[in-house]
Amino acid sequence: MTKSSKTAETSPVADFENALDELEKAVAAMEKGDQSLDQSLATYERGIALYRRCQLALEQAEQRVSQVNNGNTENLTAFRESDES
């Protein structure tokens, strides 16, 4: 990969962060309640696509971590979901 093609691509981390930011904005717009039904449906569809993109990026990151650990997950502990209710 040449330097110019590398700058044309977005890093996986930046792509994830951009998708997450856009998803948060979509959720906020829908929660506000000012959108028409058509706009809400379009925003919902976009949100689902962004969610899937974020989920794929997280799965890829998990695979990379697993590779770094040579598949040895014996000494790793899972993250607990927070109680943010």
Domain chopping of the chain, boundaries: 11-68
- Band (1; pLDDT cuts 50, 70, 90): very low
- Specify the pTM: 0.67
Distance CA 73, CA 7 (A): 34
Instruction: Please give the CATH topology (third level) of the domain spanning 11-68.
Output: Helix Hairpins (1.10.287)
Distances from the Cα of 62 to the Cα of 2, 55, 82, angstroms: 27, 11, 19
Structure letter (DSSP) for residue 9: S
- Band (29; pLDDT cuts 50, 70, 90): very high
Average pLDDT over residues 3-21: 74
Average pLDDT of the chain is: 83
Average pLDDT over residues 8-32: 89
